[in-house]
Chain A
């Protein structure tokens, strides 16, 4: 692999990692808040 292709691969990998990690963090935050909300009462379980 040439140096040019290394730079191309790193650029695309950084973009994929950046979006992937942030999406995973958002999903985890939402799931955690939903789980803790459900613990508070059955009415809250229906929403979210």
Chain B
């Protein structure tokens, strides 16, 4: 009994990321086409990098040269222009990860999976920077590199969540299973965000309470507040550009794997035809 070889599959025209439902994720569905995503982001990314570089150059000059030293902290206050934006990005980025994970679980949007996968190493990096710069500030100001204080410990937990997500999403041979497990971890970990935010109010901590986001009265003088906000904007733009660059690289890699698979299938079919 002879078995007929399977019909050759044509190479995908644009190597779609996966068969997402047309309604999936509403308007975001159009980004599921990798060709369109790459074309759109190719135009945006250089502008994003340029804006990040420009704002960071202004912010760094303002923070390191033109802003005055603090009356209590002295020159060490200049660490805050890195530490505070890193803390905001660590928490804001994790909120983004939780949203991407939710989109991935509900709509199975392929780009949400890729975004979450590429976001976690960047999130781990900014959280590590937040902890390191906090430690570098703490030594001259508090006389210690580290304290098991509620704010610092909850940020350390956030760092482990980022690293855990990055590891879990890459731990499975089947990408979808890894993405689903990591999405569940990301959503559970989101419980930590309010703990970080309000730990300084709920517990008696060494870490000072909120000063920039305090509603009642401004906690910082404009000489410090404005360069801080400029640095925060610059680092946020750099964070966005970095994540976008990583997602673009991941889309290209995924498309390459799909094309290699399609080519291998075609070669297999040809070999079967010649043999049969």
Q: Which residues of A contact B (CB under 8 A)?
A: 2-5, 7-8, 10-12, 14-15, 18-19, 22-23, 26-27, 29-30, 33-34, 36-37, 40-41, 44, 47-48
B34 to A, closest residue via Cβ: A47
Docked-complex contact A26 and B245, CB < 8 angstroms: yes
Classify the interface of chain B: helix, strand, loop or mixed.
Answer: helix
Docked-complex contact B35 and A47, CB < 8 angstroms: yes
**Contact for A2 among B75, B82, B83, CB less than 8 A:** B75
Docked-complex contact A8 and B64, CB < 8 angstroms: yes
- Does B17 lie at the interface of the complex (its beta carbon under 8 Å from any beta carbon of A)? no
**Contact for B125 among A3, A22, A27, A30, CB less than 8 A:** A22
Docked-complex contact A7 and B79, CB < 8 angstroms: yes
A18 to B, closest residue via Cβ: B125
- Does B238 lie at the interface of the complex (its beta carbon under 8 Å from any beta carbon of A)? yes
Docked-complex contact A44 and B132, CB < 8 angstroms: no
Q: How far is the CB of A13 from chain B (nearest CB, A)?
A: 10
**Contact for A37 among B125, B128, B248, B252, CB less than 8 A:** B252
Q: How far is the CB of B187 from chain A (nearest CB, A)?
A: 25
Docked-complex contact A7 and B122, CB < 8 angstroms: no
Docked-complex contact B82 and A11, CB < 8 angstroms: yes
- Does B120 lie at the interface of the complex (its beta carbon under 8 Å from any beta carbon of A)? no
Report how far A18 CA is from B133 CA in the complex, Å. Answer: 12
Docked-complex contact B252 and A15, CB < 8 angstroms: no
Residues of A within 8 A of B86 (CB): 15
Docked-complex contact A15 and B79, CB < 8 angstroms: no
B63-100 interface bits toward A, Cβ cutoff 8 Å, 1 = contact, 0 = none: 01000000000111011001100100000000000000
Docked-complex contact B242 and A23, CB < 8 angstroms: yes
Residues of B within 8 A of A7 (CB): 76, 79, 136-137, 139-140
Docked-complex contact B140 and A44, CB < 8 angstroms: no
B79 to A, closest residue via Cβ: A11
Residues of B within 8 A of A37 (CB): 252, 255-256, 259
